[in-house]
Amino acid sequence: MKTASCNTNIMDMFEKGKVLKICAPMVRYSKLAFRSLVRKYNCDICFTPMIVAADFMRSVKARDSEFTTNERDRPLIVQFAAHDAQTLADAACVVAPFSDGVDLNCGCPQRWAMSAGYGACLINKPELVKDMVRHVRNQVDNPNYTTSIKIRIHKDLKQTVDLCQKAESAGVSWITVHGRTTEERHQPVHYDAIKTIKDSVSIPVIANGDIKYLRDVESTHKLTGVDGVMAARGLLANPAMFAGYEDTPLECIWDWVDISIEQGTPFTCFHHHLIYMLERVSSQPERKVFNSLSSTAAVIDYLQNTYGSVHDLIT
């Protein structure tokens, strides 16, 4: 890992009055190569995938495999799963020279995470969240370094407001709200709940959930008054979404090929991303053929034969 020459002050970005566009933490997917791609298409801030802080601190091998970055990978937020304040603070201190903030995952609804005391179970432990935020703030030696949390909402929204206000009192920099409860998966996002949370704190709030097109960024902002919008599946389907494209443009597909080859992205990851990107622009028979490809060379041949090369875009 190389240290970038300077840290971005993310809080200054919020003060510019625009709605920030953010790439969500996604297990297996929001790694360096994909972050490099979405940054080319108007993504303001990127998150790493969720990293279990205790495992990260346990071995150098875990740190090297879980966290990869470069000098152009900024602004960058490193998201950790943790249930112990000192472990989170230790992990934050390790990544602070290479990033612009850490985020505590308080929203992952997966059973393994919650049974281990991570993720969404933390929304029911506001005092512990306060303690973890405070530890990071006190121990990272950089006043511009942000400490944020990503949460889901309670059925009783008063509990969520209480959690957010307690986190604010502990010095949390900003809060991302996924507008569903822990039990909800594909139900409609509760925009009214996000608005209530935004109105109850004085720090920036990010909305997350069902952002599939650039127009969803503006409509979510109008409904909630949030300071930024975070997308996950929408960006997987179209990494150029924040630049206003309705579907993944050919230029973006070839950018992904170039970045993947340059960074040595494993084939499975390289292929999976393209499966997502092509889903809305290819027919079912085409998808069946593409999904069965088993080498980078075969993928490149298929793309050139089916969609054309980058040179075709210019001529």
> What pLDDT does 261 receive?
97
**Across all residues in the chain, what is the average pLDDT?**
94
What confidence score (pLDDT) does residue 17 get?
75
Q: Which domain holds residue 108?
A: 10-243
Q: Provide mean pLDDT across the span 229-256.
A: 97
Q: Are residue 99 and residue 171 in the same domain, yes or no?
A: yes
Task: Count the domains in the chain.
Answer: 2
Q: Is 178 assigned to a binding site?
A: yes
Q: Do both 135 and 264 map to the same domain? A: no
In a domain, 2, yes or no: no
Kindly tell me if the per-residue pLDDT of 53 is higher than 80. Answer: yes
In a domain, 1, yes or no: no
In CATH, what number is assigned to the domain containing residue 120?
Answer: 3.20.20.70
Rounded Cα–Cα distance for residues 17 and 5 (Å): 26
Q: What are phi and psi of 203, to 5 degrees?
A: -95, 165
Q: Could you give the CA distance from residue 228 to residue 243 in angstroms, rounded to a whole number? A: 15
Q: What is the pLDDT of residue 4?
A: 47
Looking at the fold, whether 257 and 204 belong to one and the same domain comes out as no
| Whether 56 and 194 share a structural domain | yes
Q: Is 237 annotated as a binding residue?
A: no
- Looking at the structure, tell me whether residues 121 and 150 fall in a common domain: yes
154-182 mean pLDDT: 97
Choose, from 23, 108, 121, 164, the residue flagged as catalytic. Answer: 108
Residue keyed to tokens 């930024």: 228
Q: What does the pLDDT look like over 99-147, one tens digit per residue?
A: 999 999 999 989 999 999 999 999 999 999 999 999 999 999 999 999 9
Which tokens belong to 175? 């809060």
pTM of the predicted model as reported, rounded to 2 decimal places: 0.94
Residue 2 is predicted with a pLDDT of 44
DSSP states of 13-32: HHTTSS-EEEEPP-TTTSSH
Are residues 267 and 206 part of one domain? no
Q: Is the separation of the CB atoms in 282 and 307 below 8 Å?
A: no
Give me 50's structure tokens. Answer: 């969720």
From 243, 275, 290, give the residue that closes a domain.
243
Q: What is the pLDDT of residue 312?
A: 59
108 assigned to active site: yes
198, 289: one domain: no
- Segment 246-261 mean pLDDT: 97
Looking at the fold, whether 105 and 171 belong to one and the same domain comes out as yes
**Residue 232 in marked binding region:** yes
